[in-house]
Amino acid sequence: MKILILSTNSSADFKDFFHAFLVKKGHEVVNLTLSNLFNVGYRNSVSFEMEEDEFSFQYKDRLYKLSEFDLIWKRRFDFNFLQNVLNAKEYRKYPPVVYEYMNREVWMVKDYILQLARLKEIYIINDFDETVINKLYQLNAARRFGLKTPDFLFTNSWDALQAFHDDNQTTITKPSSNFGYIYEKDEVLSHRTSIVNPEDLELLKSSFFPSFFQTGIENTYELKCLFIAGELLAVKQEVRQQKQVADIKQEYRDNNIRNTEYHLPEDLKKQVKLLCEHFRLDLCTIDFIKGADGNYYFLEINHDGIVDYYGTYISTNIYELFYKNLMNGKI
């Protein structure tokens, strides 16, 4: 079988290990990255032609055509490409509109390759419904599939926020969409999930910039779930020193987390599987909190989440599982 992997870059993650796995199984695999297509003049740049009904690219002496592939896997295809790979600094000397235009151009090429593949009826692994990107809609969908979620409020009103805060023991705020780091001179800033201090409400005017709030759940531990082609596996992330944690990333940095394999209840697995199928996901990670009240609270789906790292805490071979579940019937 001939398989095309489309990604932003190549790095030692699940994609590259699975690439190697597929080769060992006897498949011909090509990994084409946005770096290949857009890093003009770079030693690994690849010349390509995109026409109405075909996308072809040349690598060394070989010409590849999209239509010759039996299967496509897109993994982190456009993942902050301009910002992280093409070096956004290059674009700072131009007005911002140039950078925005470049982003759209990259998106156009990426999207047309996928559209062509769909027209050619080539199966695309993880060709998910784009609505999964909206974290608010994820929460809405999760509830419709019977999962518990923390209540949320998106508001610009002080009165509404105060009322929400009065109804909850703890209020948190966090980005409602993906938000990376801010690089500013020599400093790097980040925005984690944070508890809203009641006294901070006094800093706000009666109307402020629309912001995302959620009920803070008193938790015992967090769960990182891996959805691997229909199968749900989980890793328990426990803070070594018991304390209330708003954002587990900080605990990671403080070396204060213990990861262990976790077996989810069957009814929860069923609900999560239905949710993933709703978004047409083949591979993703899902975050849960196990509340002090004993309930599991859905936090979010990461459609391009880290799989390889958490897979090392699981007794199942995630590569075999992905291969078995996904490829059966396609090979």
Partner 1 sequence: MEKYKEGVKEGFLPVLFLYSGKEDRQENHELKEKKTFRSNLLNSSQLTNKLSERSLMQSSGTHDLSGERK
Residues found near partner 1 in the complex (CB under 8 A): 9-12, 16-21, 23-24, 28-33, 35-36, 42, 44, 46, 59-60, 173-175, 181-182, 187-192, 194, 196, 200, 203-205, 207-213, 252-253, 255-257, 259-260, 309, 311-319
Residue 318 is inside which H or E element, if any? helix 318-327
Taking the least distance from each CB to partner 1, the nearer of 211 and 280 is 211
Minimum CB separation of residue 241 from partner 1 in Å reads 13
Closer to partner 1 by Cβ: residue 278 or 308: 308
Neighbouring CB atoms inside 10 A of 87's CB total 11
Look-up of token digits 């809405």: 140
Closest C-alpha among 225, 331, 197 to residue 281: 225
Return d(Cα 304, Cα 284) in angstroms, integer.
6
Minimum CB–partner distance for residue 107 and partner 1 (Å) = 20
**Smallest distance from the beta carbon of 33 to partner 1, in angstroms?**
6
Toward partner 1, which CB reaches closer, 133 or 195?
195
CB of 143 or CB of 240, closer to partner 1: 240
Tell me the CA distances in angstroms from 36 to 33, 57, 68, 69, 249, one per residue in order.
5, 10, 19, 18, 32
Could you tell me the CA-to-CA distances from 159 to 169, 170, 196, 210 in Å, in that order?
17, 17, 15, 13
Residues 6+ apart with CB under 8 A from 153: 160, 161, 164, 212, 213, 214
Residue nearer to partner 1 on the CB measure, 34 or 142: 34
- Closest CB to partner 1 among 3 and 122? 3
| Residue 102: CB minimum distance to partner 1, A | 20
* In the complex, minimum distance from the CB of residue 277 to partner 1, in angstroms, rounded to a whole number: 25
DSSP annotation string for 114-171: HHHHHHTT-EEET---GGGG-HHHHHHHHHHTT-B---EEEEEEHHHHHHHHHHSS-E
Q: What residue spans of 225-317 are helical by DSSP H? A: 248-253, 266-278, 308-311
Conformational region of residue 71, where left means phi above 0, alpha means psi within -120 to 50, and beta covers everything else: beta
Quick one: 19 or 147, whose CB is closer to partner 1? Answer: 19
C-alpha–C-alpha distance, residues 88 and 83, integer Å: 5
Q: Establish how many alpha carbons lie within 13 A of residue 289's alpha carbon, considering only the half-sphere containing its beta carbon.
A: 21
Among residues 196 and 275, whose Cβ is nearest to partner 1?
196
Supply 264's token pair: 């989810």
